[in-house]
Structure 1
Amino acid sequence: TDANKIDLTTHLDLGQKALGDKRTQFSLAIMHSQVATNYKKKELIENKKMFSPILNADIEVPMMGNMIVLETDTNTVDTSVVGFPIYHTYMFGRGVFLTCPKQVHRAYGTKYDDEEKGGVEKIYTKQAKVIHPNGFSIKIDNIAEESPTRAELANPANWELKFNHKNIAIAEIISNG
């Protein structure tokens, strides 16, 4: 319905509700192309020119206020009810995701290849990193194996809040576009 569509202040209101006076900490918005199109029609998304030292060139980055906009149709819409799509827009702040190394089985190995260039000793290395939301802890007793499955990660019952929610810059807008 129109009551559930984004408007000029949806992201601002959500930012205030999620973080209060720290709402400007949001720096990334991930949204479906339909939602991005609606924000563009309201002239809330504009392309800003930024210099990329990696590319050594100027690039245009879509911005909504101080948030970079990442537009993707992957995992941002629920079409389970025909004709009534439900869009999910996610807002994140800096430092909201942490990484740590994960132990891997046989991190290093070698293999001799007789057929390549008269024989070559190849060295293989493996790395794994865990990415997790800062401020949450997974309930390890709920995890069946050494590493959680996607289903276990997706289950809210397997997570517990470790920080005050106002210190975790994660928010979701659920809308009809």
Structure 2
Amino acid sequence: MAGTTLQDVIVPELFNPYVINRTMELSALYQSGIIANNTEFDALASQASPMVNMPFFEDLTGESEPIIEGADLADNKITSNKDVAVILRRAKMWSATDLAAALAGTDPMMAIGTLVARFWERDMQKELIAILKGVFGTVPAGGSGTPPAETRLASNILDISGLSGAKANWSGSAFIDAEQKLGDAKAQLTGVCMHSATEAYLKKQNLIETVQPSSDVAFGVYQGKRVIVDDGCPVDGDVYTTYLFGNGAVALGNGHPVGDVPTETDRAKRKGSGIDYLINRRTTILHPRGIAWQNAEVAKTEGPSRTEVANPKNWKPVYEPKQIRIVAFKHKLG
């Protein structure tokens, strides 16, 4: 007879909401304001369709007219467009050997839930980096007579890596130039995601301030922006890409589709003393606001892989550049 098993400590109805909430609590992306979650996106992520349309009205343009007695005002229209988000479906399975230490905890379900939440927190960060590679990537040129190579979000890229000498290296003034890509919306910038080599370079110059909240782990701040470190940030030779984010730049939806089973446990009784399995599934929207998903190259109808979200052909901006609160800063290190 087996002792305590995962089936004894995991209550799926309680476990999954705990993991979702704990994931957001742990996420530096969420805590910095880069990623914003609301009930609207939770509802969108719960739809059966692999993509969801989000219509919006374009901003009003032009200038006011003088009032002239007896003259008609010009008839101006408001135009509309649509943003498109893709629903991401991801899953992970663990065996009891991976979770054995957690079973010894005073509250094993909470202990296991924290471990699982930390996995999804790291996974969400990897997902976003893959999305950014696609958003800022270049669609290659085709053969003769086809469109030339195209970087669809070139307006939000500052690339100093091609400058001569030290001018190609990270500097405070170059970072300010990167912020300026958002124009008067730059005040909304709250976070910067960089490679660990970039962080180390800035730390050596004492340019990163360490902040220690009373109820959280310490984190770095550069020019007032929370620093998120991820070695998934692109490195091409000696050229590094750092991402600047505005508040709410990325929408997060935690979905609960009909028929979806987000948490399951299983047990292989015939394997020695038995092996427990924990399966966790996530259905989410992780969408850079104003950059519509094109679904140009996706192999499976269920949704894209991480490789496919990194494909530039699958993304196209639909907002005005400064309304897209993300900037790519390409630079070298001294």
TM-score normalised by L of structure 1: 0.74
Offset at residue 76 of structure 1 (A):
3.8
Matched, 1:28 2:158: no
Offset at residue 161 of structure 1 (A):
1.2
Output aligned runs, 1:16-165, within 5 Å: 16=180, 18-52=181-215, 55=216, 59-79=217-237, 85-100=238-253, 101=255, 103=257, 106-107=260-261, 126-140=281-295, 142-146=297-301, 147-165=303-321
Structure 2 residue ranges without an equivalent (≥5): 1-164, 270-276
Cα distance change, pair 160–104 in 1 and its aligned pair in 2 (3 A)? farther
Which amino acid in 2 is paired with 1:35?
T
| 8 Å Cα contact 1:107-1:127 kept in structure 2 | no
| 8 Å Cα contact 1:19-1:169 kept in structure 2 | yes
Q: Secondary structure at the match of 2:308?
A: helix
RMSD between aligned residues: 3.2
| 8 Å Cα contact 1:104-1:127 kept in structure 2 | no
Which amino acid in 2 is paired with 1:15?
E
Looking at structure 1, the residues matched to 210 and 262 of structure 2 have their Cα atoms a distance apart, in angstroms, of: 45
Structure 1 residue ranges without an equivalent (≥5): 80-84, 116-121
Offset at residue 41 of structure 1 (A):
4.0
Q: In the comparison of the two structures, how many residue pairs are matched? A: 161
| 8 Å Cα contact 1:108-1:123 kept in structure 2 | no
Which amino acid in 2 is paired with 1:128?
T
| Structure (1 or 2) with the greater strand fraction | 1
| 8 Å Cα contact 1:29-1:67 kept in structure 2 | yes
Offset at residue 141 of structure 1 (A):
5.1
| Structure (1 or 2) with the greater helix fraction | 2
Residue of structure 2 aligned with 1:13, choices 165, 169, 177: 177
Looking at structure 1, the residues matched to 204 and 265 of structure 2 have their Cα atoms a distance apart, in angstroms, of: 57
Offset at residue 63 of structure 1 (A):
0.5
Looking at structure 1, the residues matched to 174 and 330 of structure 2 have their Cα atoms a distance apart, in angstroms, of: 10
Structure 1 runs, 4 residues or longer, greater than 4 Å off: 102-106, 108-115, 122-125
- Over the matched positions of the two proteins, sequence identity in percent amounts to 26
TM-score normalised by L of structure 2: 0.42
Cα distance change, pair 78–103 in 1 and its aligned pair in 2 (3 A)? farther
Q: Secondary structure at the match of 2:170?
A: coil
